[in-house]
Chains A and B, each alone.
Chain A
Amino acid sequence: MIPQEFDYSAPTNLQEAFQLIADGERKVLAGGMSLIPLMKLRLATPEHVVDLGRVPDLNHIGDEGSVIHIGAMATHHDVETSAVIRARCPLLAETASNIGDVQVRNRGTLGGSIAHADPSADYPAALVALEGKIRIASAKAERTVPAAAFFLDPFTTALEPGELVVEVLVPAEAGSEGYRYEKLEHPASGFAIVGIAARIQKSGRGIAMARIGVTGLGPHAFRALETERLLESGAEMEKAVASLGEGEEANSDLYASADYRRHLARVHARRAIAVALTRAS
């Protein structure tokens, strides 16, 4: 339970942080909710840790017209309780409120969570459903990657060595839109065995827009495009939901086999869509 010795730097501005991580050999510490336990178990033995905790203004949450800007170091609690996020993209606030426990939400950060890219993390489902973008920067350059192209594999993202997640950009949800994050939580870890983030816009009796983000089911979060298409084209709920995860590889572990996970994903998708429909106006 005691980590291997390591060097520690706490830069006080972003430029300094970029210089420190430029060679890609040093490990970045955000909230430490994944890295510190791994270091204590000595599964992770970084030689040098760069702590972003003292870089100012990385936890801003701002409303810039149709897009909400959230700093990478905003904690899950910040996201959950921010008046701006609750009003403009409530799906993200609801998702944040489902992460881990109070202690984790107080320390853990949005940027840290997505850079770690656990295949069962909650945020990715909401970010792909919201068609969010990740702003990435290094000492030399800056780029913006759509969430769907950011999560590549388990623990693997589009981040290159020397790059940091600096901000997450989320288009504001329409006021008439219904939303829901529905998950089955692993009883010990709190991670999503499956998690479904749904957004629905109604038109008359039909569905004008559906976005379904799925986490925990496959190697990384993805949008259930076929389910979305069927919902938008007026197909029955059962038929639309049955297409979720069809032909996709599903994860399997001692807790839930691939088939059971696929089943769970459909059950939770049905629940998420039902709630989103009642919330839509």
Chain B
Amino acid sequence: MKIAGAHVLAVSQERAYALLQDPVVLGKSMPGCDSLEQIGDSQYHMKMKMMLASISGLFDGTVRIADRNPATSFRLIVEGAGKIGFMKGDGLLTLIPVDGGTNVQYEGSVEVGGTIAAVGQRLLDTTSKMIIKRFFDKLSAEVSSSGETTVTSTPSSTITS
């Protein structure tokens, strides 16, 4: 499944770049993230509890940052597995300064397997979009609560199977 979209964060490009790689901020912003600890250079161990309606599952995985190109782009690779399935996501994030903030564009792919994918195919797309939206919403909230000025975030996303 391909994912792509953009979100405007109300901070400068440098600040947005730093925020998106700050494990504390990432940990707080990722929906359901219980813990995020550094296990190597640009690599983190993540524990997640996904809760979606009746479905709930614990995921154990890693978050890796690669291809750093300070202030303009980097790749985020997330892998996780749990009893109800596994997922692997690989995305390129590009930061472009715009009026009043930074436009964070993402493009990549997500693979989901196991029971959750076999049974929930109908719902993967909608729920992935929702999780990405919540991540950016929480990130925007983190940005504004850390005392930085905020402008409205304007989300848009497309997902194709």
Interface residues of A (CB under 8 A from B): 27, 34-35, 38-39, 41-46, 116-120, 153-156, 186, 189, 191, 219, 249, 251-255, 257-258
Please determine whether A42 and B84 come into contact, CB atoms closer than 8 angstroms: yes
Q: Which residues of A contact B125 (CB under 8 A)?
A: 251-253
Contact status of A116 and B122, CB under 8 A, knowing A42-B84, A219-B129, A254-B161 = no
Q: Which residues of A contact B68 (CB under 8 A)?
A: none
Contact status of A189 and B54, CB under 8 A, knowing A41-B115, A252-B161, A257-B160 = no
Please determine whether A117 and B53 come into contact, CB atoms closer than 8 angstroms: yes
Please determine whether B130 and A154 come into contact, CB atoms closer than 8 angstroms: yes
Interface residues of B (CB under 8 A from A): 52-57, 83-84, 115-116, 119-127, 129-130, 157-161
Please determine whether A253 and B130 come into contact, CB atoms closer than 8 angstroms: no
Contact status of A255 and B56, CB under 8 A, knowing A42-B83, A153-B130 = no
Q: Is the interface of A mostly helix, strand, loop or mixed?
A: loop
22 CB contacts below 8 A, A to B, read A34-B54, A41-B119, A42-B84, A43-B115, A43-B116, A43-B119, A45-B57, A46-B56, A116-B54, A118-B53, A119-B126, A153-B130, A155-B52, A249-B129, A252-B125, A252-B161, A253-B124, A253-B161, A254-B161, A257-B160, A257-B161, A258-B160
CB distance from B110 to the nearest CB of A (A): 13
Q: How far is the CA of A93 from the CA of B123 in the complex (A)?
A: 27
Contact status of A252 and B53, CB under 8 A, knowing A153-B130, A154-B130, A219-B126 = no
Number of A-B pairs, beta carbon distance below 8 Å: 75
Q: How far is the CA of A191 from the CA of B119 in the complex (A)?
A: 14
Q: Which residues of A contact B126 (CB under 8 A)?
A: 119, 154, 219, 251
Please determine whether B115 and A42 come into contact, CB atoms closer than 8 angstroms: yes
Q: Which residues of A contact B57 (CB under 8 A)?
A: 43, 45
Q: Which residues of B contact A153 (CB under 8 A)?
A: 130
Please determine whether B54 and A35 come into contact, CB atoms closer than 8 angstroms: yes
Please determine whether B121 and A254 come into contact, CB atoms closer than 8 angstroms: yes
CB distance from B62 to the nearest CB of A (A): 23
Please determine whether A258 and B158 come into contact, CB atoms closer than 8 angstroms: yes
Q: How far is the CA of A251 from the CA of B130 in the complex (A)?
A: 11
CB distance from B119 to the nearest CB of A (A): 6
CB distance from A131 to the nearest CB of B (A): 25
Q: How far is the CA of A220 from the CA of B38 in the complex (A)?
A: 37
Task: Please name the residue on chain A nearest to B53 by beta carbon.
Answer: A155
Q: Which residues of A contact B55 (CB under 8 A)?
A: 38, 43-44, 155
Choose one: B53, B122, B157, B158; the contact of A253 (CB below 8 Å): B122
Contact status of A43 and B130, CB under 8 A, knowing A27-B54, A252-B159 = no
Please determine whether A255 and B130 come into contact, CB atoms closer than 8 angstroms: no
Q: Which residues of B contact A119 (CB under 8 A)?
A: 123, 126
Q: How far is the CA of A130 from the CA of B96 in the complex (A)?
A: 44
Q: A45-B57, A189-B122, A219-B130 are in contact. List 17 more A-B contacts (CB 8 A).
A: A34-B53, A38-B55, A41-B119, A43-B54, A44-B54, A45-B56, A46-B54, A116-B53, A117-B53, A120-B122, A154-B52, A155-B55, A156-B53, A249-B157, A253-B125, A257-B161, A258-B160
